[in-house]
Amino acid sequence: MKVTELPYRRITLEEVQSRAEKVIQTVKSANTVGEILAARKDMTALHKDYNTNAGLCYMRYSINTADEFYAAEKDYYDQIGPVIDNLNFEYASALLESPLRPALEKVLNPVLFKSLEVQRKAMSPEIIEDMVEENKLTSQYSKLLSTMEFTFRGQTMPRTVLAGYFKDDDRQTRKEAYVQLGVGLQAHAQELDEIFDKLVHVRDRMAKKMGYKNFVELGYYRMGRLCFDQQSVAVFRQNILSDVVPVVERLRTANAKKMGIDTFMVYDYDVVTPGGDPKPIGGKEGIFSAARQMYHAMSPESGAFIDMMLDNDAFDVDSRPNKSPGGYCTQFPNFKQPFIFANFNGTAGDVDVVTHEAGHAFNAYMIMDNEYADELGCGGMETAETHSMSMEFFAWPYMKNFFGENDQRYRYMHALDSLSFLPYGTMVDAFQHIVYEKPDMTPQERKAAWRELESQFRPYIHFEGIPYIEEGVRWQYQAHIYESPFYYIDYCLAQTAAFNFLLASQEDYGDAFARYLHLLKQGGEQVWTDLLAEAKIPSPFEPGALRTLAQGVEALLTKIEP
Q: Taking 80 as the threshold, does the pLDDT of residue 276 lie above it?
A: no
Q: Say if 543 falls within a structural domain.
A: no
Q: Which of 16, 9, 12 is nearest to 86 (CA)?
A: 16
- 489 within a domain of the structure (yes/no): no
Residue 325: what pLDDT?
83
CA distances from 172 to 156, 182, 267 (A): 19, 15, 9
C-beta of residue 216 within 8 angstroms of C-beta of residue 229? no
- Picking from 85, 379, 89, the residue whose alpha carbon sits closest to that of residue 224 is 379
Q: Looking at the domain assignment, is residue 48 inside a domain?
A: yes
Instruction: Note whether 240 and 426 are within 8 A (CB).
Output: yes
Q: Is residue 184 part of a domain?
A: no
In a domain, 143, yes or no: no
pLDDT at residue 273 in the model: 82
pLDDT in tens, 376-416: 999 999 999 999 999 999 999 999 999 999 999 999 999 99
Helix crossing, 509-521 with 358-366: angle to 10°? Answer: 60
pLDDT value of position 347:
86
Beta bridge partners of 242: none
Q: pLDDT tens, 139-194?
A: 999 989 988 999 999 999 999 889 989 988 899 999 999 999 999 999 999 999 99
For residue range 46-103, what is the model confidence (pLDDT) as tens digits? 999 999 999 999 999 999 999 999 999 999 999 999 999 999 999 999 999 999 999 9
Whether 451 is in a domain gets the answer no
Residue 275, pLDDT above cutoff 80 = no
Report yes or no on 328 lying in a domain: no
- Could you report the per-residue pLDDT of 427-474, keeping only the tens digit for each? 999 999 999 999 999 999 999 999 999 999 999 999 999 999 999 999
Measured CA to CA, the distance from residue 483 to residue 253 in angstroms comes to: 33
In whole angstroms, give the CA distance from residue 560 to residue 409: 8
Residue whose C-alpha is closest to residue 192's, from 136, 263, 246, 142: 142
Angle at 283 between CA 281 and CA 6, to 5 degrees: 140
| pLDDT of amino acid 274 | 77
| Residue 74 domain boundaries | 3-121
Number of domains in the chain: 1
Task: Report percent pLDDT > 70 for the chain.
Answer: 100
Per-residue pLDDT reduced to its tens digit, 206-264: 999 999 999 999 999 999 999 999 999 999 999 999 999 999 999 999 999 989 999 99
Using CA of residue 80, residue 86, residue 90, residue 95, what is the dihedral sign?
Answer: positive
- Give me the amino acid identity at 479: A
Mean pLDDT within 39-43: 97
pLDDT of residue 251: 96
Note whether residue 398 is domain-resident: no
Q: How many CB atoms lie within 10 A of CB 29?
A: 11
* Per-residue model confidence as pLDDT tens digits over 296-348: 999 999 999 999 999 999 999 999 889 988 899 999 999 999 999 999 988 88
pLDDT classification of 129: cutoffs 50, 70, 90: very high
Least confident of 9-23, 169-183, 262-276, 407-421: 262-276
Determine whether 549 is exposed, middle or buried from the number of CB atoms within 10 Å of its CB (0-12, 13-18, 19+). Answer: buried
| Spatial separation of the C-alpha atoms in residues 155 and 445, rounded to whole Å | 35
Alpha helix ranges (H) inside 240-357:
245-258, 283-298, 300-311, 349-352
Q: Is the pTM of this model over 0.75?
A: yes
